[in-house]
């Protein structure tokens, strides 16, 4: 019986495309260490561009089929991931050790940015990524409460860097950790600017695939500082379905476009409420507004999160819903959003590596 050789196996894998990245696995350097073992068995490492890859099973299946067709008797795939960095087509200096920066923003206050930031960060880490969260809401920091941390951060051994705290599998930094309880922050623009810059550059964000930045509401100093300081891979806009929130979201969107930050998409929070006693669905803030707005504005709709009391309770006691009920419907919704975000960043990273002009990120 004729056996498959290395050249044939490589050729077979070069016919398998990553459906998101529209290139083959050999060109993308995603199929590595290909070996032909006794009896025509092919073994190789499949290196995905993110552990949160929604297409993992499909790519593995396509590889197996291609290799069997090319004459392999058996196929063994060891799948790992190496997250690629996306700099938002910007030439600004990246943060050392951080591959992708994602800003979570909203035009209007109280729509759930911090809730989304925390649960998105945890969902990405549950999928296997290394994740940090930076609370850029300097005057109203909520992240420590939501993640159940309050100790003061340490300095690095050379006293040059602040060490982020860690809980629920993610690294955390917030002004709330540096101030005492109930200490108000009454800072103006320039001080906010330097605090945010310090949090970006002087915190030891070592080896992160994704740094999620929770912004204060609106289009103020924090947004501008961030846009000027570092290359942002993309912004996510959080909105409720009501018109007024959506109108403010459009302002936020335009601001990011002006400062040339790619928009990864919109998340609709507090979309609907299911009454626990009757199971009836109530659309408290209206219906489908964010999805329609996304279509109009030609941006991705990343998903919707219902209004549910255990989301707020979890936030209040430092136990986010993705941790307290990881198999539940809400955690699954966050996981799907996380996969879309990660996939979009991978697509953009490959385009950036190839010097391609930016194409629309996919929904």
**Dihedral in degrees, nearest 10, Cα atoms 165, 167, 170, 175:** -40
CB of 117 to ligand ATP, least distance (A): 8
**What whole-number distance in Å separates Cα of residue 46 and Cα of residue 84?**
15
Q: What is the spatial distance between Cα 21 and Cα 34, in angstroms, rounded to a whole number? A: 21
> CB of 14: closest distance to Mg ion in angstroms?
47
Nearest-approach distance from CB 218 to ligand ATP, in angstroms: 8
Q: For ligand ATP, which stretch binds (CB under 6 A), given 113-121, 148-156, 260-268, 335-343?
A: 113-121
Q: Is 135 left (phi over 0), alpha (psi -120 to 50) or beta?
A: beta
State which residue has the least CB distance to Mg ion: 114
Build a one-symbol-per-residue string for 135-164: x at contacts with Mg ion by CB under 5 A, - elsewhere: -------x----------------------
**Mask 163-202, x = binds ligand ATP (CB under 6 A)?**
----------------------------------------
Q: Give least dist CB 141 to Mg ion, A.
A: 8
Size of the site for ligand ATP (CB under 6 A): 21
Residues 107-136 as x/- pattern, contact with Mg ion by CB under 5 A: ------xx----------------------
With CB under 6 A as the contact rule, the residue among 106, 219, 223, 304 that binds ligand ATP is 106
- Spatial distance between the Cα atoms of 112 and 104, rounded to a whole number of angstroms: 10
Binding of residue 142 to ligand ATP (CB under 6 A): yes
Decide if residue 111 touches ligand ATP (CB under 6 A).
Answer: yes
List of residues 6+ apart from 127 with CB closer than 8 A: 50, 51, 52, 335, 338, 339, 342
Q: Is 115 in the site for ligand ATP (CB under 6 A)?
A: yes
Residue 361 interface partner, choices ligand ATP, Mg ion, none, CB cut-off 5-8 Å depending on type = none
Strand 41-48 with 31-37, pairing: antiparallel
**Is residue 269 near ligand ATP by the rule CB under 6 A?**
yes
Least CB distance to ligand ATP at residue 315 (A): 4
**What sign has the CA pseudo-torsion 112, 114, 117, 118?**
negative
* Residue 330 burial (C-beta neighbours within 10 Å; 0-12, 13-18, 19+): buried
Q: Is 225 in the site for Mg ion (CB under 5 A)?
A: no
Candidate list 19, 97, 110, 220; residue touching ligand ATP; CB under 6 A: 110
Question: Which of 62, 80, 70, 74 shows the shortest CA–CA distance to 20?
Answer: 62
Maximum Cα–Cα distance across the chain = 78
Whose tokens are 């350097």? That residue is 29
Residue whose CB is less far from ligand ATP, 50 or 115: 115
Contact at 8 Å (CB) between 147 and 318? Answer: yes
Kindly give the residue spans of alpha helices, DSSP state H, lying in 127-273.
Answer: 143-147, 175-178, 189-201, 221-229, 243-258
Size of the site for Mg ion (CB under 5 A): 3
If the CB atoms of residues 114 and 126 are measured against ligand ATP, the closer one turns out to be: 114
Positions in the binding site for ligand ATP (CB under 6 A):
106, 109-115, 137, 140, 142, 216-217, 269-270, 305, 307-308, 311-312, 315
């Amino acid at each position: 019986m004729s056996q498959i050789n290395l050249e044939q196996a490589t050729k077979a894998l070069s016919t398998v495309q990553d459906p998101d990245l529209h290139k083959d696995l050999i060109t993308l350097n995603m199929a590595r260490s290909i070996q032909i073992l006794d009896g025509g068995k092919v073994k190789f490492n499949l290196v995905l561009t993110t552990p949160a890859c929604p297409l993992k099973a499909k790519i593995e299946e396509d590889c197996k089929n291609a290799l069997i067709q090319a004459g392999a008797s058996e196929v063994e795939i060891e799948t790992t991931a190496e997250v690629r960095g996306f700099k938002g087509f910007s030439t600004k200096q990246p943060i050392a050790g951080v591959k992708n920066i994602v800003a979570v923003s909203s035009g209007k206050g109280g729509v759930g940015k911090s809730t989304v930031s925390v649960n998105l960060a945890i969902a990405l880490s549950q999928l296997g990524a290394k994740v940090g969260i930076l609370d850029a809401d300097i005057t109203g920091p909520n992240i420590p409460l939501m993640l159940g941390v309050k100790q003061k951060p340490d300095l690095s051994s050379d006293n040059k860097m602040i060490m982020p705290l860690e809980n629920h599998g993610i690294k955390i930094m917030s002004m709330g950790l540096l101030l005492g309880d109930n200490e108000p922050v009454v800072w103006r623009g320039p001080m906010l600017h330097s605090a945010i810059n310090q949090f970006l550059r002087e915190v030891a964000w070592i080896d992160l695939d994704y740094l999620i930045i929770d912004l204060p509401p609106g289009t103020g100093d924090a947004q501008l500082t961030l846009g000027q300081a570092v290359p942002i891979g993309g912004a996510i806009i959080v909105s409720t379905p009501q018109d007024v929130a959506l109108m403010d979201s459009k302002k936020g969107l335009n601001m990011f476009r002006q400062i040339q930050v790619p928009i990864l998409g919109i998340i609709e929070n507090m979309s609907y409420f299911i009454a626990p006693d009757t199971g009836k669905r109530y659309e408290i803030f209206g219906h489908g507004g964010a999805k329609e707005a996304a279509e109009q504005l030609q941006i991705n709709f990343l998903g919707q999160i219902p209004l549910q009391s255990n989301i707020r309770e979890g936030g209040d006691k430092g136990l986010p819903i993705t941790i307290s009920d990881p198999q539940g419907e809400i955690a699954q919704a966050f996981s799907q959003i996380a996969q879309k975000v990660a996939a979009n960043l991978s697509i953009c990273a490959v385009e950036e590596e190839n010097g391609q002009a930016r194409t629309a990120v996919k929904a």
